[in-house]
Amino acid sequence: MIPDFFISFDTEKLPFEEVDFLIVGGGIAGITAALQLKNFRTVVLYKNGLSGTSTYNAQGGIAVAMAPWDSPEKHKKDTLITGCGLSSPESVDILVNEGIERIKEIISSGLAFDRDGNRYHFTREGGHSCRRILHIDGDSTGKAVANFLYKKALAEKNIKIFHSHFLIDLINKDNRIEFALVYDEKKKRVFVIRAKAFILATGGAGNIFQETTNPSVITGDGIATAYRCGAELIDLEFYQFHPTTFYQAGAPRFLISESVRGEGGILRNSKGERFMFNYHPMGELAPRDIVTRAIVDQMKATGSNCVYLDLKEIKDDLKKRFPSIYNFCMNYGIDIEKEYIPVRPSAHYFMGGIKTDINGRTSIENFFACGEAACTGVHGANRLASNSLLEGLVFGTRTGISAMEEIGRKFIKSRYRYAFPQKADILIDKEDLKRSIRSLMWRNVGIEREEITLKNAEGKITEWMKYAFLKEFPDTTGFETLNMLILALLITKASSIRKESRGAHFRKDYPEQDDKNWRKHIVIKKDGVEYKEV
C-alpha cells in the first residue's frame, strides 16, 4: 500500500549536488551536529526556517546539574523515575554528565543565561527534585539558543544553509543511503543530493494531532521517511502531551511554560479549587503525564473545556520573568498579574522516533539521527521537563563526531530510477485530509486510549491510504499529508500493541503499568514488529 518513494524519478536527469554531509533539520540538534562537521562540505536543510523549529519556540530552559545543591546523580535519578522504567541508564548517564560540559562550552563561546546577582538563576519544573533549569530572557531560551547557534553556523564557510527545502525521500542501496531527493519549494524543482553520511534532525510530529504546541511545519516527515527507507523506529506509542497550553477559541495553543508552575503557579479547576495534590504528592510539579491526565479528569468532572493557572503566588515580576507569556496573554485580553490563564493539554513531544545508538547511528550504515526525531533511550516512556534542549546539544555533538567517520567513503557512480506505481486522476483535498488525520488522532489516539478507538483509527487511516497513495503529490503539502498518514498509522499500531499504561501512554482498558509483560520496547520497521528488552 505504501510506495517505496513518493515521486517518479531518474537520478541522471535531475539537478545534482555532491557534499560530504547532509543534515535535514536545523534546530539545536541539527545545527550542533553541523558545527562538528564545519571542516567538511556540509549542507543543512530547513523545511521552513529557523522560527519553524521546535527549538526556536522552546520556552522553559535547559536542565543541567550545575547548581551547588545539585549533582548529575540527582539529575539522572529524576530522569529515570520520569521515564517509567524504559529509559536507558547508559544514555541518561551520558546526558547528565556530558550535558554539563556542553553547557559550559556554549557559555564560554558567548551565550549568556539569566543570572540572579552573581549566580545563574535556576528554576524548577515538573519531575525535578530541585531547581536546575537554566533560562534566557525569562521564557525565551529556545529562541536565544537557536539564534546563537545559527549565527555560528552561518559564519562557517563550509556549512551551506538552504531554506524552504523539503526532504522527499532517501534512496537506500544495500543498507546504505546513496541519495536524498529534495524539493526546492521556491524554485518548484526536485534535485538530488549525494553525501557520505545523512543526518535527520527533523523534530517531532505534533501536527499529527489536532491540538499541539509545535510549529505548523512539524509533521513527522523525517521519521516517516526513515521508516520508508528501511530504518527501525521505536517507542512510537509514547507521545507527550504538555499539560498547560493557552486555551481560547480561535487562539493558537501557545505553550505556558512549566517554569510558571516551577515558580509557584497553581492549577485550579473551573470552580476555583486547587486539585493537583489529590493526584500526586508533588502537586503542580508532578511529571507531565500525571498533570495532563489530572487536568483531563478535572475537565470531565466539572464539565469544562479547560482549567486555570493562578500566578498570584509568584513573587517575581511577571513581566520580566515571563515576558513572552505576559505579552501573549495580554494580546488576548488577560492580565496574568490579576487574572487566571485558561489552559488545557496539547501534543508536545515525541519520546519515540528513529532508533539510534548513543552516537546517533541508525540501523542503516551511513544514516544518523539526533534530537526529537531520534530515540536514544534517554526519555523512556515520559520526558523529564527541559531535558530536550540538553539532549539536542549532547547527542547532536555525538552524532556529528560519529558521522565524521564516514568521510573516507568513496562514491560509486550509480543511477536510480523509479516509476510511481499508481497514478489516478482523482481530486484529493490535501488540507481536508490533514484536518481529518489530526482530528482522528486527537480523539482516538490522544491522551486516553482504548482498543475500540485505536482499532477504529487504524481502520480509518488504512481506508484513507487506499486512495491517498493512488496519486503523486509533487508539492510540500502533499508530501506532508502522506507522511502524516504513515506515521499516524504506525503510532496507532504501536499504541494498540502495548496493552498497559506507562508514562505518556495511557490505556483506559489497561490502566496499570505491567512490568512483567511490558517492560520492553516496541521496534517497528517495514518488515514487521520486534521487541527489545530494557
Residue-by-residue DSSP string for 3-52: -S-SS-EEGGGS-EEE-SEEEE--SHHHHHHHHHTTTS-EEEE-SS-GGG
Of the residues 102, 228, 253, 288, which is catalytic? 288
Looking at residue 446, the DSSP 8-state letter turns out to be S
Q: How many residues does the chain have?
A: 534
Residue-by-residue DSSP string for 343-359: EEEEEEEES-EEE--TT
Nearest to 56 by CA among 199, 181, 176, 217: 217
For residue 187, how many C-alpha atoms fall within 13 Å in the half-sphere facing its CB? 11
Q: 131 and 124 in contact (C-beta within 8 Å)?
A: yes
Q: 382 and 238 in contact (C-beta within 8 Å)?
A: yes
What the block records as the C-alpha cell of 253 is 495553543
Distance CA 337, CA 341 (A): 10
In the chain the first and final C-alpha atoms are separated, in Å, by: 32
> 522560527: which residue's cell?
51
Distance CA 258, CA 273 (A): 20
CA-CA-CA-CA torsion sign (47, 50, 55, 56)? negative
What the block records as the C-alpha cell of 380 is 523512556
Strand blocks (E) in 195-271: 197-200, 233-234, 239-246, 266-268
3-state helix, strand, coil in the chain (%, to 5): 35, 20, 40
Contacts of 472 (CB under 8 A, 6+ apart): 6, 7, 8, 420, 423, 478
Distance CA 486, CA 493 (A): 11
Nearest to 220 by CA among 526, 485, 484: 484
Distance CA 169, CA 185 (A): 15
Distance CA 180, CA 373 (A): 17
Burial category of 450 from C-beta neighbours within 10 Å (exposed 0-12, middle 13-18, buried 19 and up): middle
The continuous run of DSSP H or E covering 76 comes out as: helix 72-82
Distance CA 63, CA 72 (A): 11
Q: Say whether 288 is catalytic.
A: yes
Residue 154: count other Cβ atoms within 10 Å of its Cβ. Answer: 11
What distance lies between CA 359 and its chain's CA centroid? 18
> 556540509: which residue's cell?
42
Residues involved in catalysis:
288
